[in-house]
């Protein structure tokens, strides 16, 4: 201490320190009252200060997210409004289709039909009535008369090129070896198959007692004599060289065969000859009146000679059929004058020459010309598959009424102003204007679907257009939601007329009630899709609203907690200030009293 410093007594110094401490406390209390905080810096209370600061920062971060969440909520509201409007539009489209379904104001016209053969239609030439336009593809014609004809002749030809008959000769079956008595009984089955294709068989057994060829021949012929089928048809004989031979009695068409266990012993390796009567013989006619035709090797060696020979015989019998060159070398038969009769071939050689089919099927019977009646025309028009659901015909008191089941005009060719005539003149039946106007109305509503979807945006985000909305709910980004329209497979999609499978309506569609029913079914499906999207967006909006309210409440909790850590209690601090002021006054008084004790010393020098 320097010699110039004042010297304070212990009492004064103690009172001074107390006054200084009080002044410091008053300054601290005044600061708390002025700022409203009991912790203004880390020096006041590090734990409370930093904890409060962290809570305040988080509350601030969450508060900055509130605006984005609120804007996202508006995006969802815009999408909801769009879907609501689109739903009302689809419902209006349903009403339009139902109105078209119920409308039956089809246009029609009635025409007279003259069935007099000498009338406007007549039977001299084929005529028709045809329809085009409306909902018909191309032109559909309906005959209104038929012209008489004499029919088409039936014809039948040989199955291959004509071949002259084989020269006349008997059928034969000759043994290989000279006959010798058998060592044991030998059974034989001798058959002849003629032009009818039916085998005629006789059975005989050659015993050891038939030691000579003649004895064997006699036994075989005795068996044939007793057989009704082969008697007079075949016989056994000596071929002139001591060999056994079976032959036909005369020249017959056919073959001889021998079977049985003894065939190899008696005949060995046989020699055969096919028999021929030297001619083709068959009948020609209609199956009722037939004429026999015979062609021999002498008079019919070629196709031309066969035709001439056959025609000579047919003409002589006054037959109504004739032979002709059927092409390819084949011999054919047909009617001389076409009358629609089929030709039938019969007789023994029919199958050999003409095959299995012996009656032609190509004849067309003669017909008389006719004119369709009104009822016949009605049936023909209504049964035509190309006109079903497009044109309807009916009998209107003896007149033909044509109804146009279309929104477009129908052209009727072959009709005058009041009658069907089969000419090239045309008449027009107007379309259904009510349904046509409803097509336009439907398509206008469809256009509005796309416009509503396009306009349902908020701040550049349009969920109906397929945009994605991402909202973050916490300051770290770990809690968020992504909102986007998706299809039934959870693939991102937009919501418009095309995605709802609502195609542009056409007049052809509105012509057909079944097509309108299908359209109504599709609109029901479209409404289901819209309501599904609305439900999903509604769920997302509930999530957003819940998180928005939760975030607001959480911010309040965070701010309140932060304030509790650092805010001062003004009532407490005010009471402290009054107490400190009183203490200051007391300290000042005490200091004054201490000073008076020092002043008493001065009075000793006074």
| Domain 172-273 is found in CATH 2.40.10 | no
pLDDT, tens digit, 9 for 90 and up, residues 66-121: 777 788 888 888 888 888 999 999 999 999 999 999 988 899 999 988 877 767 77
**What is the DSSP annotation of 321-377?**
EEEEE-STT-EEEEESS-SSPPPEEESTTHHHHH-S--B----B--B--EE--HHHH
Question: Which DSSP state fits 274?
Answer: -
Map residue 15 onto helix, strand or coil: helix
Q: Tokens for 390?
A: 């497009």
Residue 236, beta-bridge partner list: 246
Show the CA angle centred on residue 535, arms to residues 530 and 536, nearest 5°: 100
Residue ranges of the chain with pLDDT lower than 70?
A: 1-16, 18-45, 48-50, 52-53, 55-57, 59, 62, 118, 123, 147-150, 366-369, 562-570, 572-574, 576-577, 580-581, 583-584, 586-587, 590-606
End-to-end CA, the chain: 29
pLDDT for 34 equals 63
- The burial of 179, by beta-carbon neighbours within 10 Å (0-12 exposed, 13-18 middle, 19 or more buried), is given as buried
The 3-class SS string of 161-211 reads CCCCCCCCECCEEECCCCCCCCCCCEEEEEEEEECCCCEEEEEEEECCCCC
138 CB neighbour count, 10 Å cutoff: 8
pLDDT for 556 equals 81
pLDDT for 369 equals 67
pLDDT for 480 equals 77
What's 61-103+436-558's CATH class? Answer: mainly alpha
pLDDT for 130 equals 93
**What is the DSSP annotation of 532-592?**
HHHHHHHHHHHHHHHHHHHHHHHHHHHHHHHHHHHB--HHHHHHHHHHHHHHHHHHHHHHH
pLDDT for 41 equals 62
pLDDT, tens digit, 9 for 90 and up, residues 244-254: 999 999 998 89
User: What backbone torsions phi and psi does residue 425 show, to the nearest 5 degrees?
Assistant: -70, 150
pLDDT for 548 equals 80
589 CB neighbour count, 10 Å cutoff: 11
Q: How far apart are CA 581 and CA 576, in angstroms?
A: 9
pLDDT for 604 equals 61
pLDDT for 284 equals 95
Q: How far apart are CA 215 and CA 307, in angstroms?
A: 50
pLDDT, tens digit, 9 for 90 and up, residues 490-542: 888 888 888 889 999 988 888 888 999 999 999 999 999 989 888 888 888 88
**What is the DSSP annotation of 379-427?**
HHHHH-TTTTTTEEEEESSSSEEEEE-SSS-EEEESB-SSEE--SS-EE
Map residue 276 onto helix, strand or coil: strand
pLDDT for 15 equals 64
Q: How far apart are CA 567 and CA 480, in angstroms?
A: 34
Q: How far apart are CA 259 and CA 201, in angstroms?
A: 10
182 within 8 A of 265, measured Cβ to Cβ: yes
């Amino acid at each position: 201490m320097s010699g110039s410093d004042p010297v304070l007594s212990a009492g004064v110094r103690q009172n001074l320190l107390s006054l200084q401490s009080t002044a410091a406390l008053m300054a601290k209390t005044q600061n708390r009252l002025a700022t409203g905080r009991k912790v203004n810096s880390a020096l006041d209370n590090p734990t409370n200060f930093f904890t409060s600061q962290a809570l305040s920062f988080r509350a601030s971060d969450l508060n900055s997210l509130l605006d984005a969440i609120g804007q996202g909520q508006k995006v969802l509201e815009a999408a909801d409004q769009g879907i609501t409007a689109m739903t009302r539009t689809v419902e209006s489209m349903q009403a339009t289709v139902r109105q078209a379904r119920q409308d039956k104001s089809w246009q029609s016209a009635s025409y007279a039909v003259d069935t007099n053969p000498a009338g406007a239609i007549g039977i001299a030439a084929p005529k028709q009535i045809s329809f085009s336009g409306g909902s018909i593809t191309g032109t559909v014609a309906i005959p209104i008369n038929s012209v008489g004809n004499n029919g088409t002749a039936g014809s039948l030809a040989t199955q291959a090129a004509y071949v002259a008959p084989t020269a006349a000769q008997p059928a034969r079956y000759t043994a290989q070896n000279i006959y010798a008595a058998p060592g044991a009984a030998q059974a034989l089955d001798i058959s002849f198959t003629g032009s009818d294709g039916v085998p005629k068989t006789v059975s005989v057994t050659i015993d050891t007692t038939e030691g000579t060829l003649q004895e064997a021949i006699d036994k075989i012929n005795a068996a044939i004599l007793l057989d009704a089928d082969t008697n007079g048809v075949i016989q056994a004989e000596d071929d002139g060289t001591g060999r056994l031979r079976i032959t036909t009695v005369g020249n017959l068409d056919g073959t001889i065969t021998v079977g049985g266990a003894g065939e190899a012993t008696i005949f060995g390796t046989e020699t055969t000859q096919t028999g021929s009567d030297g001619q083709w013989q068959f009948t020609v006619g209609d199956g009722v009146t037939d004429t026999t035709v015979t062609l021999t090797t002498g008079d019919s060696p070629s196709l031309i000679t066969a035709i001439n020979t056959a025609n000579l015989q047919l003409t002589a019998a006054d037959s109504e059929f004739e032979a002709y060159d059927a092409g390819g070398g084949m011999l054919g038969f047909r009617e001389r004058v076409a009358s629609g009769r089929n030709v039938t071939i019969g007789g023994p050689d029919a199958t050999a020459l003409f095959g299995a089919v012996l009656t032609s099927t190509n004849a067309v019977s003669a017909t008389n010309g006719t004119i369709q009646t009104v009822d016949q025309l009605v049936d023909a028009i209504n049964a035509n598959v190309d006109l079903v659901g497009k044109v309807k015909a009916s009998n209107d008191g003896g007149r033909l009424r044509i109804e146009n089941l279309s929104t477009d005009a129908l052209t009727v060719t072959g009709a005058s102003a009041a009658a069907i005539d089969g000419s090239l003149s045309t008449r027009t039946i107007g379309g259904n204007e009510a349904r046509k106007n409803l097509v336009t109305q439907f398509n206008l509503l469809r256009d509005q679907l796309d416009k509503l979807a396009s306009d349902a945006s908020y701040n550049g985000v349009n969920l109906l257009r397929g945009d994605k909305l991402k909202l973050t709910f916490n300051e770290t980004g770990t809690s968020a939601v992504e909102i986007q329209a998706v299809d039934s497979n959870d693939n991102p999609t937009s919501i418009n007329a095309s995605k709802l499978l609502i195609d542009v309506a056409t007049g052809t569609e509105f012509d057909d009630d079944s097509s309108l029913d299908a359209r109504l079914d599709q609109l029901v499906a479209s409404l289901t899709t819209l309501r599904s999207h609305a439900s999903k967006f509604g769920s997302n909006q509930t999530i957003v609203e819940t998180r928005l309210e939760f975030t607001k409440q959480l911010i309040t909790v965070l701010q309140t907690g932060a304030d509790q850590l650092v805010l001062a209690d003004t009532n407490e601090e005010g009471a402290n200030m009054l107490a400190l002021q009183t203490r200051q006054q007391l300290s000042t008084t005490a200091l004054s009293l201490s000073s008076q004790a020092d002043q008493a010393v001065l009075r000793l020098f006074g």
